[in-house]
A and B are shown apart, each in its own frame.
Chain A
Amino acid sequence: MTYNQNRSTVIRLIIVVFALILITKLFYLQVISDTYAKKSRSLSVRTVTEFPDRGLIIDRNGEIIVFNEDAYNLVVHYPFSEKKFNKSGFCDLVGMDSVEVEERLIKAKKSQYNGKGVFMKNITSADFARIQEGLFQFQQFSIEARSDRKYKHNIAAHTLGYVAEISRTELERDAEDYYDIGEYIGKSGLEKYYETHLRGIKGRQLYLRDNAGRLKERYVGGANDVEAKIGEVLPISLDVLIQEYGEKLMAGKTGSIVAIEPSSGEILAMVTSPGYKPEMFSMKNLSKNYNALLRDKSKPLINRAVNSNYPPGSTFKVFMALIGLQEGVITPNTRFRCNGGFHLGSLTVRCHGHAPSPNVGYSIQTSCNAFYCNLYREILHQDRFENIEDGYNNWKSYLDRMGLGQKLGTDISAEKPGNVPKAEHFHRIHGKNRWNYARIISMSIGQGELLLSPLQMANMAAMVANRGYYYTPHFIKGDSVPAMFKEKHELGIEQKHFDVVVDGMNKVMLQGTGAYVKIPGIDICGKTGTAQNPHGENHSLFIAFAPKDNPKIAIATVVENAGYGATWAAPMCTLMIEKYLNRDTVSQRPFLEEKMFNTEIKIVK
């Protein structure tokens, strides 16, 4: 009897042990592992997304530049059950044969993300109406509406940027997990920088679905739903009138024009040439145009205004003079001898013909090289400096405050910082402190290692226009301008010194190198420059602001391979100024305008 009772105990033990095994495995599945909870959600919850219209972009005068047109994507939701899929009916609906449907399904499945794959992109409005009507029979599919970009003014492609389908990498970097596959995101320019502002908030409704993909009730009673919010209008500082005008002036040439409102740092125009029309990068057109433009040898995708660097040439002399005056190594009346140039031993820096021994004002007006070679010596080799490094760093500190050799931090990305070498650079070449001003003399006239972007040059014009400070150049306008664009950057140069150089720049336009392009009735201050180009013809440069008192516009122009600054860059600058200040009035110099519009300057290598 005890023998058999032992056996009944064994049986009871077996029952309890097996039950414990079940309970333990259940504990693992239900409490420890979260795999199944995740799978459950992705299987049984479908998100219906509502895409709000993207924000409009308007110019400084309220003129609409970018608006929207509806575009539709047909998306397939996973898990996709072939069994319950009426394929022939679907083929009829989308107007494809079964092979194409199959291929698209495979492609969509491969690229699926968050349970969704794009079956068909950019459905035309005619197809949309038809597909929409029959789609209720195919609940594993849905149509998602987006806004495609349209351009009322087909200008400023690089500045505006474009919108396109989000890439895998972008999806992976999307920390807040906002985007899904097939969605659109600002890829460059302002569309990228102000993406969160422009995109609005997409609406989200979560539904339970069954194993055939049919939507059932709201998931958790709609507790996790999000209401769609339309994208905000983005007011920008561009002036459509001069942006358009600048693009016409630059047509057929290579280079850039940047215009800034000095009192605010707002960018009025940013022209880069050769370029492209923003419409070419709308959703519909992007794929066919992008690669062609990418392969184009003239590199139309590069925004030269921020992404190309040039030696500033003689335009830099204005700033040398300012540094010299602030350092006290010269006064407005200091004169340096010039007999056809600067001579030191075997070193010669040539000069153009002008009256000998210029002072500061006259040196700017005539762009005397000798004056600045001498001035550089005075600035770098002051008694208070122990060595050349001290002197050089003191000089460079002014350039640092001007934002040269560094990214300005404007609101379009892809800025190139330019180049202002560190003292170490020359230590490496010549030995520590075994060099002097003569070794780096070309920088005193804006050549050599010194490189700036057109945006930096325009910003320098703005600094002079403001007599000593600048705001980081930017495009955003209106209430949402971030604090960093309202911060005043002081140069540490007294205002009285500016009066001297401004007079000089004014005389450039009256009697000097820019006299040829003066405009009756507008008091312009400018400075020409010619940047030596080791690869070919010199670059033509010009910086200017106007009017002389209470300036409204500061501007820089670079025309590559165009020779003297006075010949191309200066007329373009002044035409831009004239257009901006006189608006719709016909130019007083139609001949000049015509010449600029119609001349093509080929890059000769």
Chain B
Amino acid sequence: MSEGIYGQSKIDGITLFLYLILVAIGFMAIFSSSHGAESFSLDFGTKYGKQLIWIAVSLTIGAVLFLMDVRFFEVFSYPIFAIFMVLLVLVMFLGTEVNGARSWFSIGSFRLQPAEFAKFGVALALARYVSDIDTDMKSRRYQMITAGIILLPIVLIILQGDAGSGLVFFSFVMVLYREGLSGTILVIGIVSIAIAVLTIAFGFVALIITLVILGAIISAFVYTNTRILRNLWLILAICIGFSKAVDFGFTRVLQIHQQKRIQVMLGLLDDPQGLGYNVNQSKIAIGSGGLLGKGYLQGTQTKGDFVPEQHTDFIFTSIGEEFGWVGSTVVIILFVLLFLRISFLAERQRSKFSRVYAYCVLSILFFHFLINIGMTINLAPVIGIPLPFFSYGGSSLISFTVLLFLLLRLDANRENELASDY
């Protein structure tokens, strides 16, 4: 293997370079969206000033990771997971409420969001559990525990009122797929999502009528084969039950504003002044960028503060407006290169723990990237998750940095893993 020429304890330069360039572009975008151009001063009270601090903190933490024993995280992955889960519970009682979600700890003027860091804990626990030599992939118990590791934080975060951050954990399905998750489960997952969407879009009653008619038609063709008939109606019954559950969950459990948000995102509600306002402003900013953009610090929508939450969840609009399609595409390509590189790093790990962890990092980053950019151009629901390395905010930047740098640390140490693995 040619990777050997990097020798031991070498950081993967390509990943580090892509990380640094994305952070740098992200900082430029925050500078632009927080009116740095109008009154530039190195003021740490400004958004870009604070972000500069967060970058420095992130790089410091990243460096500290390299000083730590590489095995620390593997050994202590379950305790770390447990600590974050406890934090997720505590924040519901001790946290500060922001935008209807009680998901922040306030320490002085700084706010920390445990949900951001929980990703790290879940990634470690998942990597540890899936790579465990005793784990039998086919056993029901294995499957339940794996699902539990993923679902526990989702439940806790949704209970905080921050459904968006909770959904992120579903991205771990990608890890499980890589590690051999059966295709059937994936199909079930996709069908479930389809039924959920159709139930919300057309209503429970319409859906069961359609399913029953469909079942009747198929039955007419296969009426001789009682086994197929029985399975068919069993599946239909499960579908109808699931649909009823979704219907109940949607109409009874979710609050009106959450229902609306889902309906807007599914294209069932058009509301440019209400919930769709952000997306509309976002599309105007990006769409007006044209091929080459209006030029850095020249974005009229960015300067005029037209896009709400621009420096956080809608930071991509600043890129789209000021650098146009070419700039947007360059940023997307940089992300894709990073993802491909991580996937490459994952596959070259000798330790299964490292590999699973690498795919955890990849799935989290990719999900954020896809949903965040998707929501700015109305391809994905507005669930309020940040764009990795770009969005303003310490919690997310530190969390993504720690995720990625631990991967780099594991990768740098991969030659030494040989012995421990066998």
Contacts and interface: CB of A to CB of B under 8 A. Distances in A.
Contact of A44 (B304, B336, B343): B304
Interface string B261-297: 0000000000000000000000111111111000000
Interface stretch (B53-61, B128-136, B148-156, B172-180): B172-180
A16 interface: yes
B304 A43 contact: yes
A19 B304 contact: no
A44 B336 CA distance: 33
Interface in A1-42: 3-5, 7-8, 10-12, 15-16, 18-19, 21-23, 25-27, 29-31, 33, 35-37, 39-41
A3 B362 CA distance: 20
A93 B373 CA distance: 45
Given A23-B328, A40-B300, 7 more contacts: A7-B177, A11-B177, A11-B178, A26-B329, A30-B286, A30-B328, A44-B303
24 contacts: A5-B347, A11-B178, A12-B339, A12-B343, A15-B336, A15-B343, A21-B379, A22-B373, A22-B377, A23-B332, A25-B377, A26-B325, A26-B328, A29-B286, A31-B291, A36-B283, A36-B284, A36-B288, A39-B284, A40-B287, A43-B300, A44-B300, A44-B301, A208-B303
Given A26-B320, A36-B284, A19 B335 contact: yes
B370 interface: yes
Nearest to A44: B300
A8 B306 contact: no
A19 B347 CA distance: 21
A115 to B, nearest CB: 14
A44 B287 contact: no
A209 interface: yes
Contacts of A212: 305
A8 B346 contact: yes
A211 interface: yes
B286 A36 contact: yes
Given A22-B374, A25-B377, A30-B324, A211 B287 contact: no
B366 interface: yes
Given A4-B178, A40-B284, A40-B287, A30 B320 contact: yes
Given A19-B332, A26-B328, A210-B305, A8 B286 contact: no
Interface string B290-331: 110000000011011110000000000000110011001100
A35 B287 CA distance: 8
Contact of A33 (B287, B324, B343, B374): B287
B340 interface: yes
B291 A19 contact: no
Contacts of B290: 30-31, 37
A216 interface: yes
A576 interface: no
A7 B347 CA distance: 11
B347 A16 contact: no
Contacts of A209: 304
A45 interface: yes
B303 A22 contact: no
Given A11-B177, A22-B374, A40-B285, A30 B325 contact: yes
A450 to B, nearest CB: 65
Instruction: Rank and list the top 9 A-B pairs by shortest CB-CB distance, nearest first.
Output: A36-B287, A40-B288, A44-B300, A210-B304, A29-B287, A30-B325, A37-B288, A19-B336, A44-B304
A553 B373 CA distance: 80
Contacts of A21: 379
Contacts of A19: 332-333, 335-336
Interface residues of A, number: 38
Contacts of B335: 19
A47 B353 CA distance: 62
Contacts of B305: 210-212
Nearest to A208: B300
Interface in A178-212: 208-212
Contacts of B320: 26, 29-30
Of B284, B285, B339, which is in contact with the most chain A CB atoms at under 10 Å from its CB?
Answer: B284
Contacts of A45: 300
A213 B210 CA distance: 51
B377 A29 contact: yes
A23 B333 CA distance: 9
Which bracket fits the contact residues of B?
A: 35 or more
A18 B359 CA distance: 17
A12 to B, nearest CB: 6
Nearest to A39: B284
Contact of B304 (A27, A30, A216): A216
A11 B174 contact: yes
Interface string A203-234: 00000111110001001000000000000000
Interface string B357-388: 00100100010001001100101000000000
Contacts of B339: 12, 15
B301 A43 contact: yes
Of A16, A40, A41, A208, which is in contact with the most chain B CB atoms at under 10 Å from its CB?
Answer: A40
A43 B284 contact: yes
A469 B300 CA distance: 64
A213 to B, nearest CB: 10
A216 to B, nearest CB: 7
Interface string A256-279: 000000000000000000000000
B322 to A, nearest CB: 12
A36 B320 CA distance: 12
Given A29-B286, A30-B320, A23 B303 contact: no
A210 B290 CA distance: 21
Contacts of B303: 44, 208, 210, 216
A27 B325 contact: yes
A15 B362 CA distance: 10
A171 B343 CA distance: 60
A509 B404 CA distance: 112
B131 to A, nearest CB: 13
A23 B329 contact: yes
Contacts of A36: 283-284, 286-288
A468 to B, nearest CB: 66
Contacts of A8: 178, 343, 346-347
B359 to A, nearest CB: 8
B286 A26 contact: yes
A9 to B, nearest CB: 9
